[in-house]
Chains A and B, each alone.
Chain A
Amino acid sequence: MELLANLAMGFEAALSPVLLFYCAVGVTVGTMVGVLPGIGPLVAISVLFPLTFHVPPDAALIMLAGIYFGAQYGGSTASILLNLPGTASNAVTCLDGYPMARQGRAGVALFMTTIASFAGGCGALVVLIVLTPVIVKVALSFGAPEYFALMVLGLLAAATLSVGSPLKGIAMVVLGVLLGLIGTDVNSGQYRFVFGLPALADGLNLVALAMGLFGVSEIVGRLVAGDVTGRPERVGWAQMMASRDDMRRSRMPMVRGTLWGVLCGILPGAGPSLAAFLSYGAEKRVSRTPERFGHGAIEGIVAPEAANNASVQAAFIPTLSLGIPGDAVMALMLGALIVHGIQPGPNLIPENPGLFWSLVASFWIANILLMVLNLPMIGLWVRLLTIPYSVLYPAVLVFISVGVYSLRLSSFDVAVVLVCGAIGYAMQLVRLPTAPLLLGFILGAPLEENLRRALLISRGDLSVFVDRPIAATLLALSVALVAAATLSALLRRRRAALALREDG
């Protein structure tokens, strides 16, 4: 069995002390930021991103992935105990998790969400192992027109499937692509949008952009909105014993949640929040006692928790097989690879099989570590909820500036963080989404490169995108996606307008 041999090779690498260490660091930090409402995985990843420059690429990716996974595990803690989602994708868990805590079943809820996260993660990893090599095999026959079409589809999907207006999402993708073109044009050597600043000749710094857009703007947003305070109750082993009835009720919701999660993880733009929402809705619909939802139904916490963790692990499928990131976190993962000179795309796995299999093995180990971290040590994480935000945010700000500065000892990059932070906060105020902008930024240069190459081969004939069946299908899907999003947005407006008239 080739698969087993590969997996064995992966585990051998993943169990080396160095990778194990970075895996442990990642999942610990991830759980921590997941537990703490106010810093999400994206902020933690942007803060720790500069560290990845100084460690080997596989360790870097494992650490970042560990943060993303850990945040999904830890995020349910604050949802259950304080009715505050630790991260956005745990918001649904509040609906039934907090009522469970009020009924004195917080321990059971924490135990079952951890089990659900583990189940979702393992399910998604199986799909990752089976599906990724298949997609790679197909993608290896792709030429420039197919790549261009694939990137267009990925960007439009990310812009239209996420929460909010598709029009705004597309505008931000376009803006992101333009930001990605800043610097020296590889074909002609022409400087573009450099404004006489030599520091911009190599392009805008990805880390500075991400930290400003996500890290700084989020801190500003929280401080303007007011602080988060709360006092959780104590939870120990004794309170965590789930009854046989809880287990029986949770089994199928976990399976269905995992399936929703895998689906949303593969689709660019869908992501863990949507996965959690969809699976909660689906559970409520299939339940024979839907009235229990919202009053502490265990199905209502295990399904979304399985779904969000499955989603973040399945998100690696398009990222690793096609080089198309589905969300901002995956865009940063690709950034970490590019920093180390590894070109994302279908050649990644054939050229670096060791990297892929050690990643897969590390993901598994990360899930196991997270179980260990979350079950016996839950009391510690709960104590973390008492750290005030007034201590956290100055530390995060300093880590952001030092992290960016450490990349090339350039205070210009810190200034970029400042400007991007201001812009990111302004975007938040007028509801322009920041994640599509980052995806556009990452894919901007390769998008232009593949477009140029495709048109060079076809001698400037645009029909190359219609004559090649795969490219044509992908572009047709893009058009359908935009059409569907426009239609549903129009319908929603119509309904909102009707409701408003009835109210008045």
Chain B
Amino acid sequence: MVTEGTALDGQGREDGQPAGKVPTGRADVVAGLTVAAVGVAVTAIAVQYPLGTLRRMGPGYLPVVLGALLVLLGLLIALSRPDAGMRIARQRARPILCVLGSLAVVVAVVDAAGLVPAIMLAVPVAVAAEDGGSLLHSVVLAAAIAALVAAIFVWALGVPLPLVRF
């Protein structure tokens, strides 16, 4: 689980780190500076909204306060490096691109052509994330998933989804 198992799952921990190398805590610096940068952006945008007073808070009041707080917290993370022992694990680009790519295919296709074409195109992209997935495997899988989606959403629940658009 991403949420609560971070200390348990072990992935991306010190494994893969050459023995004897001092942990740099680079992950924390990246995290902290990114959080701080988001804080700066939030504050910069929010000061353009009416601030109001403490008695009558305008739409900008809380965002400005929280944006500033985010900058502070981000800098604290970068400086104190709470997870200094952790390193960013080596990444393989293919699974990341394929999973996100399959969603992008859905976004691009679904409005124009409907759900079934979107699924038929998105599943092969998703399958490509792993080695050894044949085209036949992905087409059969895509067809099975499309049938399941149609059965659950359209026939069982009666949601009017556009399965195919011309």
**Which A residues form the contact surface with B (CB < 8 A)?**
40, 42, 51, 54-55, 85, 87-89, 91, 162-165, 167-168, 170-171, 174-175, 177-178, 181, 185, 187-188, 190, 192-193, 213-214, 216-221, 223-225, 227, 271-274, 327-328, 390-391, 393-395, 397-402, 405-406, 409, 411, 414-415, 417-418, 421-422, 424-425, 427-435, 448, 451-452, 455-456, 459-460, 462, 489, 493, 496
Q: Which residues of A contact B149 (CB under 8 A)?
A: 398-399, 402
**Which B residues form the contact surface with A (CB < 8 A)?**
1-9, 11-12, 27-28, 30-31, 34-35, 38, 42, 45-46, 49-50, 53-59, 62-63, 66-67, 69-70, 73-74, 76-77, 80, 82-83, 85-86, 88-89, 91-92, 95-96, 99-100, 102-104, 106-107, 110-111, 115, 118-119, 122-123, 126-127, 129-130, 133, 138, 141-142, 145-146, 148-149, 152-153, 157-159, 161-162
Contact A394 B73 (CB under 8 A): no
Q: Which residues of B contact A455 (CB under 8 A)?
A: 54-55, 57
Of the candidates A88, A170, A225, A421, the one whose C-beta lies within 8 Å of that of B99 is: A421
Do A171 and B100 contact each other (CB < 8 Å), given the known contacts A393-B126, A456-B55?
Answer: no
Do A418 and B103 contact each other (CB < 8 Å), given the known contacts A225-B11, A411-B111, A433-B3?
Answer: yes
Contact A91 B5 (CB under 8 A): yes
Q: Which residues of A contact B9 (CB under 8 A)?
A: 88
The 7 lowest CB-CB distance pairs between A and B, nearest first, are A88-B5, A460-B55, A165-B82, A223-B95, A88-B1, A430-B31, A185-B59
A419 to chain B, nearest CB (A): 9
Contact B73 A171 (CB under 8 A): yes
Q: Which residues of B contact A218 (CB under 8 A)?
A: 1-2
Q: Which residues of B contact A411 (CB under 8 A)?
A: 106-107, 110-111
Q: Which residues of B contact A193 (CB under 8 A)?
A: 42, 45, 63
Do A171 and B70 contact each other (CB < 8 Å), given the known contacts A402-B161, A411-B106, A429-B12?
Answer: yes
Do A397 and B122 contact each other (CB < 8 Å), given the known contacts A167-B80, A411-B106?
Answer: yes
Contact B6 A163 (CB under 8 A): yes
Which label, helix, strand, loop or mixed, suits the secondary structure of the B interface? Answer: helix
A210 to chain B, nearest CB (A): 11
Do A431 and B59 contact each other (CB < 8 Å), given the known contacts A224-B96, A417-B103?
Answer: no
Contact A192 B49 (CB under 8 A): yes
Contact B1 A42 (CB under 8 A): yes
Contact B80 A435 (CB under 8 A): no
Would you give 16 A-B contacts (Cβ < 8 Å), ordered by A? Answer: A54-B157, A55-B157, A88-B5, A88-B9, A175-B38, A178-B70, A188-B50, A190-B49, A223-B129, A224-B91, A224-B92, A225-B89, A273-B1, A401-B106, A431-B83, A431-B86
Given A164-B7, A193-B45, output 6 extra A-B contacts at Cβ < 8 Å: A163-B5, A220-B99, A430-B28, A430-B88, A432-B31, A451-B57
Of the candidates B6, B55, B111, the one whose C-beta lies within 8 Å of that of A431 is: B6
Contact A167 B76 (CB under 8 A): yes
B119 to chain A, nearest CB (A): 5
Contact B67 A178 (CB under 8 A): yes
Contact B82 A167 (CB under 8 A): yes
Q: Which residues of B contact A225 (CB under 8 A)?
A: 11-12, 89
Do A496 and B85 contact each other (CB < 8 Å), given the known contacts A192-B49, A395-B145?
Answer: yes
Contact B110 A405 (CB under 8 A): yes
Contact B59 A489 (CB under 8 A): no
Q: Which residues of B contact A460 (CB under 8 A)?
A: 53-56
A221 to chain B, nearest CB (A): 7
Contact B54 A430 (CB under 8 A): no
Contact A394 B141 (CB under 8 A): yes
Bound together, the chains give a CA A227 to CA B133 distance in angstroms of 13
Bound together, the chains give a CA A405 to CA B111 distance in angstroms of 10
Bound together, the chains give a CA A40 to CA B85 distance in angstroms of 27
Q: Which residues of A contact B5 (CB under 8 A)?
A: 85, 88, 91, 163, 273
Q: Which residues of A contact B115 (CB under 8 A)?
A: 402, 405
Contact B130 A414 (CB under 8 A): no
Do A431 and B27 contact each other (CB < 8 Å), given the known contacts A91-B5, A394-B102, A414-B103?
Answer: yes
B41 to chain A, nearest CB (A): 10
B54 to chain A, nearest CB (A): 4
Do A192 and B59 contact each other (CB < 8 Å), given the known contacts A171-B74, A411-B111, A414-B107?
Answer: yes
A11 to chain B, nearest CB (A): 27
B7 to chain A, nearest CB (A): 4
Contact A178 B85 (CB under 8 A): no
Contact B66 A178 (CB under 8 A): yes
Q: Which residues of B contact A88 (CB under 8 A)?
A: 1, 3-5, 8-9
Q: Which residues of B contact A422 (CB under 8 A)?
A: 96, 100
Contact A170 B73 (CB under 8 A): yes
Do A451 and B6 contact each other (CB < 8 Å), given the known contacts A219-B99, A227-B130, A398-B123?
Answer: no
CB nearest to B110 among chain A residues: A411
B45 to chain A, nearest CB (A): 6
Q: Which residues of B contact A175 (CB under 8 A)?
A: 35, 38, 70
Which of B2, B70, B80 has the most C-beta atoms of chain A within 10 angstroms of its own C-beta?
B2
CB nearest to A71 among chain B residues: B1
Contact A405 B106 (CB under 8 A): yes
Q: Which residues of A contact B95 (CB under 8 A)?
A: 220, 223-224
Bound together, the chains give a CA A218 to CA B11 distance in angstroms of 12
CB nearest to B159 among chain A residues: A406
Contact A217 B2 (CB under 8 A): yes
A350 to chain B, nearest CB (A): 30
Bound together, the chains give a CA A213 to CA B2 distance in angstroms of 9
Do A187 and B126 contact each other (CB < 8 Å), given the known contacts A171-B77, A405-B106?
Answer: no
Do A418 and B1 contact each other (CB < 8 Å), given the known contacts A164-B7, A406-B161?
Answer: no
